[in-house]
Structure 1
Amino acid sequence: MARQPIGKVFLVGAGPGDPYLLTLRAAELIESADVVATDALVSPDVLSRVPRSAELIFVGKRAGAHAVPQEEIHRLLIQKAREGKRVVRLKGGDPFVFGRGGEEAEELAAAGVEFEIVPGVSSAIGGPAYAGIPVTHRAHAATVTLVTGHEGDDSAGVDWAALARLRGTKVFMMGTANLAVIAKNLRQNGMRDAEPVAVISKATTPEQQVIRGTLADIADRAQGVATPALVVVGAVVQLRDAINWFESKPLFGKRVVVTRAREQASGLRRLLEEAGAQVIEFPLIEIAPPDSYESLDRLIDVLDDYQWLIFTSTNGVRSFFDRLRFHGKDARALGLVMVAAVGESTADELRASGIEPDLVPPKFQSAALLPLLEGDQRGIRTAIVRGAEGGEELIEELRRRGGEVDLVVAYQTRRLAADPAILQDIDIVTFTSASTVDNFYAAAADRAASILQDARVASIGPMTSDALRKHGREPNVEASSASIESLRDAIVEAF
């Protein structure tokens, strides 16, 4: 009889909201899970790590609304573990800081189920840090006290007199619903009316909002603040004036659309998010293998017969070297062949593969190579490695000059269906190729003009800008060179 596999439960902290605050251990466990039971406050970007093969169960709880009763969550974790599953119980912040992780661990222990605790960055620490408020400071606070904000007037859970006497910083978790009660109880037990207070809404996210006041007026100032939110009380709140770093980022609060293929979007997304933007991915194309590898395989078989290889994009470089490795070869196979790259990003991709390009034109345009190549191409054989779609100007001119030119199709782009309804309140739309422009207008159809009416449009280079002009839209921003870094810099400078 087959032995029943032994399951295990991991109580994992997902951090306070910023997906980059997820720990390496948490990421590893999420990506290898059979079952993920997640709370409502876990970032969608964190949940994107859940494998498609895994069972994703929402057991989310927010103040006043419980999707699944706590007792049912206990039964679910135990049941799935006994089925031999690798179960990740995913919680916002840290599982042991007002996350009921202790209760779940007790139930698992009582049931004889193996478990592991994976701490996360608590919003009690990460939230104030992103608001420019250190919870401890040598000159202002030697202690920090974490308090649940769910306590009301009649609660026996908080000794308000003792809490009010404590010096240092007080952080109330989930406290906005009872903010007036919290402020009143602290004041009635001896804290001064003028004590600084900050309410931090949606901490560590691009939607973060900080409302400052005092115990006397914070309840009025913070009315209607979005949840989740936490409350910080103490002198350290005043330090925000000097060290408010997160909301001072140049693109903080800006909603920026990235239209690149999903497999390419992460680099640009990361650069924009580091500048403070809220990024909305709206992939319009995907990069796919060519319908046939015939031309690429033929090139690889007779590389020594060519004098020039021209790569017009990073995708072409990646596809070429992937196929080269498939045939058991590496960069040495290029021998004495001269190599040209259109665009600095293409050149960088070549360098990453061990090839220093011999020629890089100043503009991200294939035609920009023409003044740099020999006027007499007789006796010169050139392979242009690119996607299935593209202009013919370079090929035709080199042939006109007497050269032998082969088009090598290394990949193709396919249009993806996209729902423009997600593009609400957009500040900037980025375009990184002519195909993303054309596909955006195809996807958005008669809504394209209205989406772009109040948004700024950022182009990676002249060819992309020309594609926009064909649709009647002049770009507001054009990168000085065809790289995502330059595009990011141009956007930041525009704002």
Structure 2
Amino acid sequence: MSSLSLHKFVSPPLYISRSSSANYSTHSRHNSIKIHCSSSPLNPKVVVTRERGKNVKLINALAKHGIQCLEFPLIEHAPGPDLHKLHVTLTDVHFDWIIITSPEAGLVFMDAWRAAGSPNVKVGVVGDGTASVFKDVLQLSNTLEVAFTPSKATAKVLASELPKDKEKCTVLYPASAKASCEIEEGLSGRGFIVERLNTYTTVGVRHVDPLILEQAVATPVLSVASPSAIRAWVEVIPSVEQWTNGVACIGETTGVAAKRLGLQNVYYPPNPGLEGWVSSILEALKVHDHLQKA
């Protein structure tokens, strides 16, 4: 992929208008993308795609294997339609469980929880990565308890394993507007009373450096942590068939989404999480290196 040039991946070609702020604009095949300049490593092996500043753990984990990364955020978070209801709901209603299925949902929840006066809450999280966002608050407060993590970090398993110690067990589920209905459907099927609030959403990033984009499409492995990131990547490249580098996903949900969108060389661990994600990245790199030597 190193021989591919940017114009093969952005269609139509760049239309650049210069300004004193050194910002430019172009058009991809789907939408308008604003472009700004940034620096990047000379020989990256992996593209990391979470919001800027949220890739540190993965970058550090890969650095232990001598792997350089290119930071290329594909998504950014925005307020959801129910965000304004969250702190009011926490103030007025007590729930037996609060279910959190992503780090961003956890951060949004904690802001509202503090605004509501830090009421007593019992939290169930989908996995260790999500649990980690509560680390600091657990040391400072005794009114928030992370009381449940499922045996496998998926929505389906969480919904099937969440403890139910009384007939009418209530659940508040602050979620991404783009999250599936698997949590509330699974819990409702077991008799839980579930209230879902769409407190945030994800949108494709609208600031892309053309030089970084060119480097990203030539980098051996793309790492992705959500279906939204996969969709954003497909929006950037004009032809899925022309791009055949490795895609290393954090878990099965993202991996399945990648395959459904036509990406070909997809890797993901059986159990979502940082350790498995790194293993999938290493596997993708190994296959890439083997093909290069063949």
The two structures have a TM-score, normalised by structure 1, of 0.44
Structure 1 residue 380 corresponds to structure 2 residue 169: yes
2:104 aligned with 1:315: yes
Letter in 2 for 1:346: T
Map Cα deviations across residues 125-162 of structure 1 (whole Å, 9 max, x no partner).
Answer: xxxxxxxxxxxxxxxxxxxxxxxxxxxxxxxxxxxxxx
Aligned residues: 239
Tell me what 2:227 maps to.
434
Corresponding residue for 2:84? 294
CA distance in structure 2 between the aligned counterparts of 1:364 and 1:281, rounded to whole angstroms:
25
Distance, in Å, in 1 between the alignment partners of 2:110 and 2:60 is: 25
Structure with the bigger RCO (C-alpha within 8 Å, sep 6+) is 2
Cα distance in structure 1, aligned partners of 2:190 and 2:270 = 30
Q: Which amino acid aligns with 1:358?
A: A
1:309–1:444 distance in 2 versus 1, CA, 3 Å: same
Partner of 2:72: 282
Residue 229 of structure 2 aligns with an amino acid whose one-letter code is T
Contact 1:340 1:357 in 2 (8 A): yes
**Contact 1:376/1:401 (8 A) holds in 2:** no
Look up the SS of the partner of 1:357 in the other structure: strand
Residues 250-261 of structure 1 correspond to what in structure 2 (within 5 A)? 254-261=44-51
In structure 2, distance between residues paired with 1:488 and 1:351 = 22
Moved more, 481-490 or 279-288: 481-490
Equivalent residue for 1:423, pick from 201, 216, 231? 216
User: 1:456 is matched with which residue?
Assistant: 246
Counterparts of 2:217 and 2:259 in 1: how far apart (Å)?
23
User: Per the alignment, in what secondary structure is the counterpart of residue 149 of structure 2?
Assistant: coil
Task: Give the aligned partner of residue 154 of structure 2.
Answer: 365
> CA 1:407–1:263 in 2, change beyond 3 Å: closer, same or farther?
farther
C-alpha spacing 1:401/1:371, structure 2 compared with 1 (3 Å): closer
For the residue of structure 2 that corresponds to 1:382, the secondary structure is strand
- CA-to-partner distance for each residue in 1:390-414, whole Å, 9 max, x for gaps? 1112212322333321112332212
Structure 1 counterpart of 2:31:
none
List alignment gaps of at least 5 residues for structure 1: 1-54, 57-204, 208-252
Partner in structure 2 of residue 267 of structure 1? 57
> In 1, Cα distance between the equivalents of 2:237 and 2:86?
35
CA distance in 2, matches of 1:433, 1:287: 12
After TM superposition, list the pairs within 5 Å mapping 1:127-206 onto structure 2: none
Q: Equivalents in 2 of 1:362, 1:489: separation in Å? A: 19
In the alignment, is the contact (CA less than 8 A) between 1:344 and 1:481 conserved in 2? no
Scaled by the length of structure 2, the TM-score of the pair is: 0.71
1:191-247 Cα offsets, whole Å, 9 max, x none, are xxxxxxxxxxxxxx965xxxxxxxxxxxxxxxxxxxxxxxxxxxxxxxxxxxxxxxx
Q: Distance in 2 between matches of 1:449 and 1:422?
A: 18
CA RMSD after TM alignment:
2.8
Please tell me the residue identity of whatever aligns with 1:344: D
Once the two structures are TM-superposed, the CA of residue 480 in structure 1 deviates from its matched residue by: 4.7
CA distance in 2, matches of 1:353, 1:376: 26
The amino acid of 1:343's aligned partner reads: G
The aligned amino acid for 2:186 is: E
Distance in 1, matches of 2:44 and 2:126, equals 31
| 8 Å CA contact 2:107, 2:133 repeated in 1 | yes
**Higher Rg of the two aligned structures:** 1
For 2:16, the equivalent position in structure 1 comes to: none
CA distance in 1, matches of 2:265, 2:159: 26
Residues 322, 475 of structure 1: CA spacing in aligned structure 2 closer, same or farther, 3 A cutoff? farther
Distance in 2 (CA, whole Å) between partners of 1:421 and 1:367 is 38
**Hey, what's the Cα distance between the residues in 2 that align with 1:415 and 1:392?**
21
- Whichever residue aligns with residue 380 of structure 1, its letter is C
Residues 347, 293 of structure 1: CA spacing in aligned structure 2 closer, same or farther, 3 A cutoff?
same
How far apart in 2 are the matches of 1:266 and 1:449? Answer: 31
Secondary structure of 2:148 counterpart: coil
8 Å Cα contact 1:260-1:432 kept in structure 2:
yes
Q: State whether residues 254 and 277 of structure 1, in contact with CA within 8 Å, keep that contact through their aligned partners in structure 2.
A: yes
- SS of the residue 2:55 aligns to: helix
Please say if residues 47 and 219 of structure 2, whose CA atoms lie closer than 8 Å, have aligned partners that are also in contact.
Answer: yes
Aligned identity (percent) is 26
Distance 2:78 2:176 in 1: 10
Maintained 8 Å contact 1:480/1:487: no
Segments of 5+ residues of structure 2 without an aligned counterpart are 1-20, 23-39, 139-143, 287-294
- How many angstroms apart in 1 are the aligned matches of 2:61 and 2:238? 29
| Inter-partner Cα distance in structure 2 for 1:493 and 1:475 | 11
Are 1:473 and 2:263 counterparts? yes
